[in-house]
């Protein structure tokens, strides 16, 4: 199992916005520069987050993005599910498009996969964007003191 690059960049972009939005809307160009992700790719990544109501944008010279919710109320799990939908490790557990197999009722491994999916969801939902912001601020402090 591997999270998509889009998901990783989306979480990084949201953390970046949370870090810098106190000074006003965060420009996509500044996010691009700090996160080393192209502006075009960021536009594609941020669009579903905006449509889902997690972000708002302002146009113009001083425009950019702001979170619509407090970072302590947003989890990486929220972002992953907005960008790519539910975390489905195997087809027979898919919520949106379940693939029923003839072995479903007698599959001894199905409970294992359900446990694994629940564990992944739990980890993604156990941390907030504010937690990640705090970790980044600590890393910045450590890097500046070396």
Across residues 122-132, what is the average pLDDT? 97
pLDDT of 3 reads: 81
Spatial separation of the C-alpha atoms in residues 13 and 39, rounded to whole Å: 11
pLDDT tens figures, 96-123: 555 666 776 778 888 888 899 899 999 9
Q: What is the mean pLDDT of the chain?
A: 90
Fold of 5-145: Arc Repressor Mutant, subunit A (1.10.10)
DSSP summary character for residue 71: G
Q: Higher-confidence residue: 31 or 146?
A: 31
Spatial separation of the C-alpha atoms in residues 90 and 92, rounded to whole Å: 6
Domain ranges of the chain: 5-145
- The verdict on pTM exceeding 0.85 is yes
Give the start-end residues of each E strand in the chain: 55-58, 64-67
């Amino acid at each position: 199992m591997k999270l998509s690059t889009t998901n990783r960049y989306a979480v990084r972009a949201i953390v970046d916005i949370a870090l810098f939005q106190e000074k006003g809307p965060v420009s996509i160009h500044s996010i691009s520069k700090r996160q080393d992700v192209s502006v075009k790719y960021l536009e594609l990544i941020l669009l579903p987050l905006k449509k889902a109501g997690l972000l708002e944008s302002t146009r113009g010279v001083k425009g950019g993005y702001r979170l619509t919710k407090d970072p302590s109320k947003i989890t990486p799990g929220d972002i992953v599910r907005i960008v790519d939908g539910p975390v489905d490790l195997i087809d027979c557990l898919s919520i949106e498009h379940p693939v029923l197999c003839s072995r479903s009722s007698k599959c001894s491994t199905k409970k294992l996969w359900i446990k694994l999916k629940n564990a992944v969801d739990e980890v993604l939902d156990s941390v907030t964007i504010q937690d990640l912001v705090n970790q980044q601020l600590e890393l910045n402090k450590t890097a500046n003191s070396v």
